[in-house]
Amino acid sequence: MPSSACSYCDNAAIYTRDYEGASFCSRCFRHAIEERVRRTITTSQMLNYDDHVAVAVSGGKDSLTLLNLLAKLEKHFPKSRLTAISVDEGIRGYRDEALSLAKNACDKLDVEWHVVSYQELFGITIDEIARRPRDQTPCAYCGVFRRKAINRAAHMVGATKIATAHNLDDEAQTVLLNMMHGDPLRIVRSSPILRDPRARFLTRIKPLCEIPEKEIVLYAYLTGLEFQSVACPHGGEALRNDIRAFLNQMEQKHPGSKFTISRSAERLRELLATTVPVSPLNECEKCGDPTPHRICEACSMVQAIAA
C-beta separation of 89 from 145 below 8 A: yes
CB of 158 to ligand SF4, least distance (A): 27
Q: What is the spatial distance between Cα 125 and Cα 280, in angstroms, rounded to a whole number?
A: 31
For the CB of residue 231, give the shortest distance to Zn ion in the complex, in Å: 30
Pairing of β 112-117 and β 193-194: unpaired
Q: Which of 62, 74, 89, 171 binds ligand SF4 (CB under 6 A)?
A: 89
Is 90 a binding residue for ligand SF4 by CB under 6 A? The answer is: no
Helix (H) or strand (E) holding 290: strand 290-291
Give the one residue of 236, 255, 256, 290 binding ligand SF4; rule: CB under 6 A.
236
Q: How far apart are CA 208 and CA 192, in angstroms?
A: 9
**CA 4 from centre of chain:** 34
Burial of 117 (0-12, 13-18, 19+ CB in 10 A): middle
x-or-dash string of contact with ligand SF4, 92-131, rule CB under 6 A: ----------------------------------x-----
Element housing 22 (H / E): strand 22-24
Exposed, middle or buried by CB within 10 Å (0-12, 13-18, 19+), for 155? middle
184 binds, among ligand SF4, Zn ion, none (CB under 5 to 8 A by kind): none
Q: How far apart are CA 30 and CA 249, in angstroms?
A: 26
In the complex with ligand SF4, the residue whose CB is nearer, 41 or 153, is: 153
The footprint of Zn ion on residues 17-46 (CB under 5 A) is: 25, 28
Please state the closest distance from residue 137 (CB atom) to ligand SF4, in A: 7
Select 186 or 286, whichever has its Cβ closest to Zn ion.
286
Which of Zn ion, ligand SF4, none binds 166 (CB below 5-8 Å, type-dependent)?
none
Please, are residues 75 and 137 in contact by the beta-carbon 8 Å criterion? no
CB of 95 to ligand SF4, least distance (A): 8
From the CB of 26, what's the least distance to ligand SF4, in Å?
31
Given a contact cutoff of 8 angstroms between Cβ atoms, the answer to whether 67 and 111 are in contact is: yes
Residue from 32, 66, 73, 139 in contact with ligand SF4 (CB under 6 A):
139
What are the start-end ranges of the E strands in 181-266? 193-194, 203-205
Nearer to Zn ion, 190 or 291 (CB): 291
Sign of CA dihedral 237, 170, 204, 98: positive
Residues 6+ apart with CB under 8 A from 254: none
Whether residue 83 contacts residue 111, with contact meaning beta carbons closer than 8 Å, is answered with yes
Window 215 to 234, contacts with ligand SF4 (CB under 6 A): 232, 234
Q: Closest distance between ligand SF4 and the C-beta of residue 208, in Å?
A: 17
C-beta closer to ligand SF4: residue 30 or 103: 103
Least Å from the CB of residue 138 to ligand SF4: 4
Site for ligand SF4, rule CB under 6 A: 89, 126, 138-139, 142-143, 232, 234, 236
Site for Zn ion, rule CB under 5 A: 6, 8-9, 11, 25, 28, 284, 286-287, 296, 299
